[in-house]
Amino acid sequence: MKALLLENKGKVFEMRVGNAEKPSPGQGEILVKIHAAALNPVDYKTGNGGNPNWTYPHILGLDSAGTVEEVGADVTYVKVGDRVVYHGDLTKKGGFAEYGVTTAHTVSIIPAGVSFEEAAALPTAGYTAYQAIFHKMHASEGQTILVHAGAGGVGGFAIQLAKHAGLTVMTTASSANHEYVHSLGADYAIDYREEDFVEKVLEITNGRGVDLVLDTVGRDNADKSLKALAFNGQIAFIAGPPNVNDAISFAHPLSFHQVALGSVHESNNIEQQKTLAEMGDRMLSLLQEGTINPMVKKVISLEEVPEALAELSTRRVKGKIVARITV
């Protein structure tokens, strides 16, 4: 089969399309003919760092959408011909290829009216946002939330999900992206380059602070974000934890939530793995009814993926980039 090959760690931007062995599904697995695969920062980050479970050449790509071509033993949830989307296992070969294998209980059926490209845009970014907002922080109508990096994938989905749930949404974004994040549902856009986001949040909330923060930027940003939280506020972090010990205070109690979506594949916790499918089902439903935008800003070929990953690494990309693998 045709695949984009990572010859060794650190060679992400030098990947080339070549031939790889077509995989076969094992017990509880399915073989998917991949039509579209989305790009994510985790692709270039792990590709550059490597993984002890990989053999080279490796195939990157966590978010795949396609048609079920074969099912393994004990698979009852899906059948040959189903259109599916899934978040793949980071330790195994991924979706920048004509075929991929995944566990049947973690996939979602793509509903009518949703394209493969739109569906592929969801898993890593969309499920991360969904898990942080609803499974971790249990957001509810009337609360306030600060979403960092609102023009990115996770941030963009988080804005939309939070707004749909009835929250007041603040987000950090460069001034050039303010119109874009407002179009996604942000009530307030804060230019992180020109404004102190803590001061701005406290100004907007009359000194109260926000109920929730979703940080996708890093440890220092998460640490600073604690100052923007209200009494009994919560922070969910993805790219590094704040200094929890220094932040614990009887006078201003806070809650901390680590979000590590992909590690569930190695957890041996089937019920938690099934939440990937549950989140996918919910987000696909919202997508089908037009409630959320998949934010697909560019559709590229498999050959163009390395250049697009290099662009993604600049952290200036709005929305999602999706590769069309097969038609």
CA-to-CA separations, 198 to 123, 144, 207, 232, in angstroms, rounded? 30, 14, 10, 17
DSSP code per residue over 245-269: HHH--SSS-EEEEE--GGGGGGS--
102 within 8 A of 29, measured Cβ to Cβ: yes
Identify the structural domains of the chain with CATH numbers, from first to last. Answer: 2-121+268-324 (3.90.180.10), 125-259 (3.40.50.720)
State the first-to-last Cα distance of the chain, in angstroms, to the nearest integer. Answer: 14
Q: What percent of the chain is helix, strand and coil (3-state, nearest 5)?
A: 35, 25, 40
H or E element, residue 320: strand 320-324
Q: Which spans in the chain are helix H?
A: 41-49, 116-120, 128-130, 153-164, 178-184, 197-204, 219-225, 244-247, 270-288, 305-312
Q: Which burial class, exposed, middle or buried, applies to 315 when counting CB atoms under 10 A from its CB (0-12, 13-18, 19+)?
A: exposed
The rounded distance, in Å, linking the Cα atoms of 237 and 279 is 19
Q: Which residues of the chain have pLDDT under 50?
A: none
Residues in the chain: 327
The predicted-structure confidence for 238-281, as pLDDT tens digits, reads as follows 999 999 999 999 999 999 999 999 999 999 999 999 999 999 99
CA-to-CA separations, 283 to 274, 289, 318, in angstroms, rounded? 14, 10, 20
Question: What local confidence, expressed as pLDDT, does residue 288 receive?
Answer: 97
Q: At 126, is the secondary structure helix, strand, or coil?
A: helix
35 within 8 A of 116, measured Cβ to Cβ: yes
The predicted-structure confidence for 150-164, as pLDDT tens digits, reads as follows 999 999 999 999 999
146 within 8 A of 197, measured Cβ to Cβ: yes
Question: What local confidence, expressed as pLDDT, does residue 207 receive?
Answer: 98
Q: Which spans in 131-248 are helix H?
A: 153-164, 178-184, 197-204, 219-225, 244-247
